[in-house]
Each structure stands twice: as C-alpha cells, then as structure tokens.
Amino acid sequence: CASTRDALLDDRDVLAIFARALGSEARAPAALVTLSTVLEYKRARTEWLRRGGLQHLFAAVAAAEDDEDKAAALAAINAIAVDPETGAEFDSLGALDALRGIAESTRDNDVRMNVMLTVGNLARSAAASTAVLNASYLGLVLESIALGDDYLTLQHASLGLLRNLAITPETRDTLRAAGVAAAMLPVLASPHQPMLFSAASVLRMLTRGDAPTAEFLAGTPGLAARLVELANGDQLNISMETARVLVEIAVAARTPEVAATLLTAGVVLPLRTLVKTEHEATRVEGLKALAVLAAHDVDRAAEFWADDAVVAALRGWADAAALESSVVSAYNDALAAFPAATLAGLGLPVLAGGGSSA
C-alpha cells in the first residue's frame, strides 16, 4: 500500500539496496521482480530516475544470463515507461535502439512482449511515434502480430503499440504504405476480444479520410460481412469499434461499389446501433455514413428507418435545447438524403442552423 511504500522510502534507503542488488548475480533476479512493483509508485520512480536507475536496469538486461531475468528487468523498465513524464530519460539513453536490439536478439515471448509494452508506452505523441518508426520497429511489430496463439501476449502488446502509432495522423501514411491494413485482416478472425478491438481500432484510424484503404477493405472478400458480424455482437467495445470501421469505409470511399458491398453485408444494423447510443460523436458518424449510402442506394438505405428505437432516439435529439452545428448538419443531411415519403409520419423535423456535414 502507499503508506508502506512511503515508510520504506523514508526510513530506509531501499532504492540504494535495489541498486546494489542489481550488481549481484545472485540477488539481481529477486530484486528485479520486487522492483517492478515498487516502481509502480510515482515517488519511487522519480527517486529511482534521479539516481540513474534506468541505466542500472538496462545494464541488468545486458548482464542477464537467461531470458527470464531479461524479461524481469524489462518489466521494471516498462513500469517507468508508463509514466508520461519519463520520456526524456529514455531519449537520453537511446532507449529505442537498445530495446529494438534486445527484441531482435531473442524469440522469447516475455522479453519481446515487455519491449513492445515499453515502446508502446513511449509512443505518446507525434514526435515519439515518428521516432519509433524511424527506429525500424514496424517490421518487428508486424512479425510479432503474425505469430500464432503460442505468442498471444506478445501479439496483444504489439497490437497495442501499433494502435498507439496509428492514433497519430502523421504516421498513418507510413503505416498504410507498409501494408498494416492487410496485416490486420487475419487478426479479425481471432477469438480473443482484446486482439479484435485493437485490430479494429487500427483499421478505423487508417481508413479515416483515405479512399484507397477504404476501397481495399471493402474489396476484400468477406471482410464487410465479418465487420458487420462483429458489430452485431454482444461485446460492446468491439461492436462499437467495428461499426465505426464500417462508417469510415463508407465515408472515405463514397463510391457506389463500396456502398453496395456494405449494404449487402448488412451495414444498416450497425448504423442503427451507433445512432441509438447516447454519444453525440458516434451518432454523427452513423448519420454521415447513412447519408453517403443513401446517395447511392436510397431504397436499401431506407431500411435504417424501420426501427422505432432509432426514430425515438433521433426525435429526442431533435428536441434537445442546444446542439452543436456539426450535429445539426449531420442530422439534417441524413434527412435530406431520403425522399419525403420515406420520412412521412416519423415526426423528425428539420433543424435550424448548421451547414452541410459532408
């Protein structure tokens, strides 16, 4: 607990004891396991870094005689990397190159997993994500993701790193050019929920505003149907994320061929799910995709309105006292995409304000 850790730091020079233990071949393994827990505490991290503790840990990795001890040292390094204020210390040590070298030197799951976790935690900004790509991690990440279920924790950590890289708009063209979208497709067949969510997140971000990626995904046999299947599933986070991938495909491509593929796969039901949420952003996304699809096939898109809960949600939204102009625009554009006869009797008024959301 925090009070116990405070007492240890105040009453005894515990960190000095750890530093000495790391220099002992006999005591280092046990010290590393305990140190990972101690370093979860911010005060301990700050003091450990002040004493050059990060260098001690990298030295412990280099001195480790087996992969188990390397993994323990790397877990302690990752306990420091989770703190967003520690990036400068890692930069000063050339940590990205060192960590890549460690990962490339072994096939051990735990060693490589801890490298991926650490680098993923460091990739918190555009500059940091660009530095990761410049340090030649992408091939290693994709190789790790392609491994079988015997490397499940490594796959998950690698997907987490890739997802962090994809969050940064500046890195997306590099990820697209490297074939990351294609690399995510086998992961969508995984039975493991964290893998599915991360893969869908990467695809959503890479598809955003990029017609070639959208057309590639829509043209992949069976993919639209798989995304719809996942979007209609009972795991809410996966359902929402895959529904949003379908939205990005529709909005980025804006072609009759892609619209036909999505409508045939049953995209209307996931769009209803998005619009029935309480989150304005996802409602807006769903309505934008609906308007795009209706522009190409208004009759099949009109199935969207055959759901009383959807209509009730939008009616309540329309009755809200104040809505942002982007929300009003998406709502009005969705209505404008359908003939008056389709909307007759639904009680959905056109709202004042807002321009086109296209």
Over residues 8-24, the pLDDT tens digits come to 555 446 566 666 667 66
Across 77-95, average pLDDT: 90
Of 148, 143, 99, nearest to 120 by C-alpha is 99
* pLDDT score for 63: 87
Q: Is the confidence at residue 354, as pLDDT, over 90?
A: no
Distance (Å, whole) CA 304 – CA 317: 17
Interacting residues of 8 by C-beta distance below 8 A, sequence separation 6+: 14
88, 171, 247, 327, 339 from 332: Cα distances, Å:
48, 34, 18, 9, 13
* pLDDT score for 47: 81
Q: pLDDT above 70 covers what percent of the chain?
A: 91
pLDDT in tens, 289-304: 999 999 999 999 999 9
pLDDT in tens, 142-156: 999 999 778 999 999
Long-range contacts of 295-299 (CB under 8 A, 24+ apart): 295/254, 295/259, 295/337, 296/255, 296/256, 296/259, 296/260, 297/256, 297/259, 297/260, 297/263, 298/337, 298/338, 298/339, 298/342
Q: Classify burial at 129, counting beta carbons within 10 Å of its beta carbon; exposed 0-12, middle 13-18, buried 19 or more.
A: buried
Comparing 231 with 320, which gets the higher pLDDT? 231
CA angle 307, 309, 313 (to 5 degrees): 125
Per-residue tokens: 171: 């890195």
Across 106-118, average pLDDT: 95
Q: Are 252 and 214 in contact (CB under 8 A)?
A: yes
pLDDT range class, residue 323, cuts 50, 70, 90 = confident
Q: What is the reported pTM?
A: 0.89
Which DSSP state fits 351? P
Q: Classify burial at 191, counting beta carbons within 10 Å of its beta carbon; exposed 0-12, middle 13-18, buried 19 or more.
A: exposed
11, 18, 89, 131 from 52: Cα distances, Å:
21, 12, 9, 23
